[in-house]
A and B are shown apart, each in its own frame.
Chain A
Amino acid sequence: MLASLEGAVTAATLALTAMGLSLVFGVMRVVNVAHGEFYMLGAVIAWFVSTTLGTHPAIGFVGALIVAPVLVGLLAAAADRLILARINYDPERTIVATIGLLYILQQSTLMTFGPDARPVEPPFNSRIALPWWRQGENGLEMFYPWGLATTSYKLFIIVAAVAILIGLWVLLTRTRIGLVMRATQADREMATAFGIPVERVYAMVFGLGAGLAALGAVLIVPVQQAHYLMGADPLLLSFIVVIIGGLGSLPGTIIAALLIGMSDGIISVFFSPTLAKILATLVVAMVLVFRPQGLLGKASA
């Protein structure tokens, strides 16, 4: 029960991060290897904002929630304009360029932020005991066992992530921007022919994808800590999620994020974490080898 709640927290932030990766791949056909670094930047900016504002943790947190995704999104959009657009989104060169971007972002953070992990205070953090049931004298009775508790902040992460995902869904399906994005995804050349500024859409999608990763990081950073190497795990997990869910399939991404997020805690109960990672990595590689369209993706021609 507790493991599954922790799993839900992981799944919630993972869904946000993976959604960013999936969106970028879906619309632009770009595999963004630097995605984990945008996540890391989100956490680091959250730390900067909350320490410079420095009054109440809640103000810093709200500030970070706004500033981090915007800054990271702008940075990503700039990277798209300056680098990716110039190499015409050629798939292989894009991967090489984003690997370069990964090192640039990561190492610049090392130079400025330093090698230490730094905590960010959660805006509110009351302990909530959770009820459980047991066979008592009068049949089934409710009680509060010791150790079965969570914090209000963790519940907030889940709620916030769901809200953001719903917002994203509305953006994609109900607004003009979403329509333009989907049109670009469906057929780039046709979209250009209809006067859609595809280049600007690409920059926006790349920024939005990075912003989602940063949001996920801002939400999780009060639970974890900000560190310049923290991008590696979310990158790998997001890849796994996007591949399992089917490259470019957004509902698939969410289902896969739930699956991976929830099972991550459960697998590591049975195996050593390293063995669990080995197995997970190999399983995902095998999915790509034998079912490249993903578990939920449609078979392409």
Chain B
Amino acid sequence: MTAATRDAALHLGVLTLLAGLWFVLPTYHSGNLARIMVLAVYAMGYNLLFGYTGLLSLGHALFFAAGMYGLAIAMQQGGWSAAPGFLAGLIAALVVSGVAGALALRTTGVAFMIVTLMFAQAGYLTVLYFGAITRGDEGFVIPQAARSLAGIDLTTPANRYFAALILFGAVFLGLAWLVRSPFGRTLIAIRENEARAKMLGYDTHAYKLRAVILSGTISGASGAAYALLFGYAGATFATVQYSIFPLLWVLLGGAGTTIGPLIGAIFMFYLIDLASGVTDAYMLIAGVVLVLLTLFAPQGLAGTLRNRVWPWLP
């Protein structure tokens, strides 16, 4: 079996498994899984920048929220239908990540982390500032009637699950292809040694900017899909916490692996779900996991698997 067919088999296998799970899982868990798949898209967008390009952003909630509010405001205030609304979300995330990326990429390392954190904080405050439209922390609900795409009602559990799966699958396969393409290879080269990539003649700044924009737009797609499928947009999704989550998922699942973001999102989602049943202080779990990961498994689950068991894992 060649490497390419093995990768394809793995990725298609994961998608088939996810599709099959719908018929097996009870309603509660399939609902969770739909949510996890949408969030995994966010994690995969983040992974492109963090795992493959080596840029640690602490402000991805800005892009997630841009997509979410791009769609939600277009549908709520502009009365747009779902398809152009989704497009509005994508364009909002594209523009925001373009501007934020162009500015933030003038810095490197720790300064890049802080600048992205501050941009996201400014974005969160902006959402609060326009409380008349966004309803601030309370958020607003997108009417059920509007949430249908090409005549398919996205509010039924089955349609919602498969819509999430289609988006997840598209991004999953797209990124799996992208990171094997010359463009993805160049991003990895920048992660490993930017000076060397530059010396080889690559315009690393342009590559990094493209990575930020692509990563931000995928995150925005996740935000828009979240608002569309679950019918709610609120300022919570713009908080620092939602910038930390994708980092947590990717670190846990394995940065720089195609499958890591999904694994991390599933693990964290259920860990927090279980913990919040026990205590209000469920973010304690997130803190402990973050510390343990940095100490003992900086490669994450999939990364550790790749190191120890399956060196071919993409």
Contact = CB atoms under 8 A, between A and B. Distances in A.
A290 B118 CA distance: 15
A155 interface: no
B114 A111 contact: no
17 contacts: A83-B294, A91-B109, A92-B56, A95-B58, A96-B293, A100-B289, A103-B286, A103-B287, A104-B287, A107-B284, A274-B128, A278-B126, A285-B119, A289-B104, A289-B106, A289-B115, A292-B107
B229 to A, nearest CB: 28
B281 interface: yes
Contact of A93 (B107, B128, B298): B298
A236 interface: yes
A277 B113 CA distance: 19
A290 B106 contact: yes
B73 to A, nearest CB: 18
A50 interface: no
B247 A96 contact: yes
B170 interface: no
A239 B128 CA distance: 22
A288 B129 contact: no
B118 A284 contact: yes
Contacts of B129: 272, 274-275, 278
Contacts, number: 112
A163 interface: no
A107 B281 contact: yes
Contacts of B247: 96, 99
B307 to A, nearest CB: 17
A40 interface: no
A206 to B, nearest CB: 15
Given A111-B281, A272-B129, A96 B294 contact: yes
A97 B294 contact: yes
Contacts of B244: 99
Interface string A258-294: 0000000000000010110110011011101110100
B295 A87 contact: yes
A278 B114 CA distance: 15
Contacts of A93: 294, 298
A207 B13 CA distance: 51
Nearest to B130: A274
A288 B116 CA distance: 11
A294 to B, nearest CB: 11
Interface in B243-270: 244, 247, 251
B288 A111 contact: no
A108 interface: yes
Interface in B280-314: 280-284, 286-291, 293-295, 298
A188 to B, nearest CB: 17
The 5 closest A-B pairs by CB, nearest first: A103-B287, A100-B290, A107-B284, A100-B291, A107-B281
A102 interface: yes
